[in-house]
Amino acid sequence: MVKEMFFKVREEEVAHLLQEVEDGNIPALSTYGNLKRCQALYAEAIKQIEIYAFDEANNYSEKTFKDSGFVFEKRNGGIRFSFKHIEEWNEAEKTKKEIEERSKQAYFAMQRSLLVGTENGEIVEVPKVTYTKDSLIVR
């Protein structure tokens, strides 16, 4: 019960902070910076506690279980493949990178109303372009 109250208070504090920023009562930049600092602190704490949490989770035979008001699900790690040691793969990667670079250059040339062609006179296709959202880095 005490733990639940602690987190409820924290949720209310965060909600209050958000409202204060929205109302213009406290500066958004310093609040953003402090929340990012807390995020980094929590992420590091989670990393340090994770091994202990996995150990406790092994006390449950079910893949999905409840504990402390939370529902947990145990999942097996995925399989990853690396091909970097295969010469044929490296050659294909090099070719792919060359095609990508040619295509990017064609895109930038197109922005200046120019066309880019190959040695054979073929027009180089431009890539499809998407943009990510802007970001604000806090250090």
pLDDT of residue 123: 87
68: left (phi over 0), alpha (psi -120 to 50) or beta: left
Residue with tokens 């202990």: 52
Q: Quick one: 47 and 65 in the same domain?
A: yes
Instruction: Flag whether 137 is in a domain.
Output: no
Whether 98 contacts 91, CB under 8 Å: no
The reply to whether 10 falls in a domain is yes
* pTM > 0.75: yes or no: no
Same structural domain, 85 and 69: no
In this structure, are 46 and 93 located in the same domain? no
Asked whether residue 139 is domain-assigned, the answer is no
Same domain, 88 and 120: yes
Q: State whether 22 and 65 are in the same domain.
A: yes
For the chain, what is the domain count? 2
Please tell me the distance from the alpha carbon of residue 74 to that of residue 80, in angstroms, as a whole number: 19
Do 124 and 66 share a structural domain?
Answer: no
pLDDT at site 3: 60
| Residue 16 forms part of a structural domain | yes
Residue pair 136/32 in contact (Cβ under 8 Å)? The answer is yes
Residue 31 lies in a domain: yes
Residue 9 lies in a domain: yes
pLDDT < 70: residue spans in the chain: 1-7, 9
Q: Tell me, yes or no, whether 23 and 64 share the same domain.
A: yes
Q: Which domain holds residue 20?
A: 2-73
Q: Does one domain contain both 18 and 44?
A: yes
Q: What is the pLDDT of residue 10?
A: 84
Answer yes or no: do 6 and 55 share one domain. yes
